[in-house]
Amino acid sequence: MKISSTFKRFTSAAAAAALFVMSFPAMNNGGTAQAASAVSIDTATTYQTIKGFGGINLPEWAGSDMTSSQVKKAFGNGDDELGLTILRTYVSDNRNDWSKAVPTAKAATALGATIFASPWNPPTDMRDNSTGKRKLAKSSYGAYAKHLNDYIKYMDSEGVTLYSVSVQNEPDYADEWTAWSPSELTDFIANYGKTVTEGTNTMLMSPESFQYRKDIYNSILQNSKAFENVGIFGTHFYGTQRSQMDFPALENCGKDIWMTEVYVPNSTANSADVWPDALDVSENIHNGLVVGNMNAYVWWYIRRSYGPMKENGQISKRGYCMAQYSKWVRPGAVRIGATEQPNSNVLVSAYKNTDGTIAVVAINKNKSNVNQEFQMGSGETLTYVDSYTTSASGNLKKNELSASGTSFSATLPSESVTTFVLSGEGGGQDPSKVLDDDGYFFHDTFDSSTNSWTGRASETVETASGKGMDDTGALSVSGRTATWHGAAKSLSPRTFAAGSEFSFAAKVKYDSGPAEQGFQLSLQYSDGTDTKYAQIAAGKAVKGEWMQLANTNYTIPAGATDLKLYVETDE
C-alpha cells in the first residue's frame, strides 16, 4: 500500500546565481543553561475540569465585526489558529442591537465553541439615576430578569444556545455601567434568578467582579436560595495578584468558576507583540488555573491591538502565549498533579485530555535556558513527546523529543513558554499519522497560512493570496541570493520513517528570469554524522507557467533523521 504525501501551489522568485558553499551559524538562544529539579507528573492526582479558553467579540463597541476568516483563525485549531473554545457576547440594553452579536456567535458555534453573555446595563426605562451612580430600580427587578430571558431566547431563535448569562459585568467597578451592592445582587439572584433562565437550557452566571473581590461571592454562598439559582461563578482578574486568586470556599462549592475577562499586562495600543511582556499572559493563565482552580479563562477583546489577535487578523505574541494552553488543553481536560515550581522562575502545570494525551505547560521567566527533566510519577510509559515553544524568536515552534520509558528531558529557552504533548501506550493519537479526507499526510494549499514552511536562509517566505492555480493561495519566496534558497518544511520522522516509500508532489512557478529554469524538490537529512542532501524530483519550468515536481515512489534513505523537504533551483 502506497502512502501519499503532497504539498502544492508553491511560487518561487527568479533563479539566483549559483552558490555552492552552505553555512549554518551556531545558535545561541539565551546563555548558560540552568539545571532544575525534576517535574513529577501524577495522573492519579486530579483537580478541576477545564471548559476552555476564549475572549469577547464586541462589534457593538468596536464598530466592526470579526470577519469569517478571523473567526476561523480564532476558533479553529489547525495550523496558525488559536484553538479558542469560548466566546463571550454582549447583552446590549438596546434590543435593536442584539442582532449584531449573532453572526460571529453562529460561526463560533459551528466550530464547536461555547457561548455565554454578559450585560453592562439594564434598558434606560429600568434605571434609577437618583444616587449619582447608574442603578437598576428595585421596582424593575422583574422587568430586568425578563430582559435577560428575552436575550437568551432571542439568541436561541437565531441558532445560538447560550451556556450561561451573567447578572452583571463588574458591579463593583461600575464607573460607566450599573452598580450593585453585594446584598442587592444576592436579593435579585434569590428572587429573580429562575426568571432569567426560565424556559431555556441556559445557566445563570454570578455577577463578574472586576478584581475577584470576595464580598459578592460570600454573600451568594451564605444565601441558600441565591446559591441554588447560580449555575456558574464568574470573575475578572484586573489587578488580581496570585495571592488573591485562591478562594477555597468557592473552589469547594461544587460549581465552576470562570475567569471571564482580563488583559495583561496592559492595554497600550499596538503592544500585543512586545516581548517578553507577552509572557505575562501565560503566567496569568497558569496562576488562574493552578492557584485559583479556574475552569475557564476568557480574554477581553479577541481582536484588538493589544489582544491575542491584532486588528489585521494575525495572531499576536500574546495570542501565541494563550494558544500554548488553548490548542492543547482542550475542553474536558482535567488538571493533574505536577511539580509547580521546579526551579526559580519556572512554572509548570499539567492536564490530561479526554483522548488520553497529557499537556504539560512550562513557563521559563529566566533570562537563561533551563535544562528540565520530567518524570511520570504515576508510572505511565511515554511513547511520543512533542514540544511547542513560543519565545522571542519563534511562535509555537515544534520539536519532537525522545522519551525514556517514564521520563524525558528538555531545554526551556530563556523567557519562553513550552507545551509538551505526551502520549503513552494506547493514549491519544499521533497527529502526524492522521490522513486527511483525500488520503494525504499533509496537503498545503497556502490559502490562509504558510503551513509551517520557512526559508532556508535570509529569504522571505509568505502567503500570496489568489496567486496560486485557479486563483487559490500560493507560497511566495523572495529575496533569494543562492540556488539552494527556497521554502522548506520539516517532516516528522514518525510518519516519514527511514526506509519507507512515499509519494511527494509540488507545483512551482517563477515570474522573472530566463525563459526556462530548472527546479528541484529535495530532501535534507542527517545520517547520524553528516548533513546529507537528496533529490526527490526535478524538472524544467517555463517562465510564468506552473510545473509539477513529482515522485510517486520515493524512499526515505535508511537511517535518515532530521528530515527537511525543500524546493530549490539549479544554476
Active site residues: 170, 261
DSSP symbols for 20-34: -----PPP-SSSSPE
**Do 313 and 67 form a contact (C-beta atoms < 8 A)?**
yes
Distance CA 403, CA 269 (A): 43
Phi first, then psi: what are they for 328, rounded to 5°?
Answer: -125, -10
Q: Which of 295, 298, 166 is nearest to 238 (CA)?
A: 298
CA distances from 302 to 85, 115, 119, 164, 258 (A): 12, 14, 18, 19, 17
Fill in the amino acid letter for 462: E
Burial 535-563 (b: 16+ CB within 10 A, else e): ebbeeebeeeebbebbbeebebeeebeeb
Grid look-up 470577519 returns 67
Distance CA 180, CA 230 (A): 17
Distance CA 108, CA 124 (A): 31
Provide the 8-state DSSP code for 85. -
User: Is residue 358 classed as helix, strand or coil in its secondary structure?
Assistant: strand
**Do 120 and 56 form a contact (C-beta atoms < 8 A)?**
no
Reported in sequence order, the residue ranges of 240-315 that DSSP labels E, i.e. its strands, are 257-261, 296-301
Distance CA 563, CA 560 (A): 7
Q: Which of 570, 564, 567 is nearest to 523 (CA)?
A: 564
Q: Which of 187, 123, 195 is nearest to 152 (CA)?
A: 195
Burial 386-403 (b: 16+ CB within 10 A, else e): bbbbbbeeebbbeeebeb
Distance CA 133, CA 167 (A): 18
Q: How many helices (H) and strands (E) does the chain have?
A: 10, 32
Q: Which cell numbers in the block locate residue 334?
A: 482535567
Distance CA 112, CA 85 (A): 7
Q: Which cell numbers in the block locate residue 337?
A: 498533579
User: Do strands 440-444 and 3-7 pair parallel, antiparallel, or not at all (unpaired)?
Assistant: parallel
Contacts of 218 (CB under 8 A, 6+ apart): 182, 249
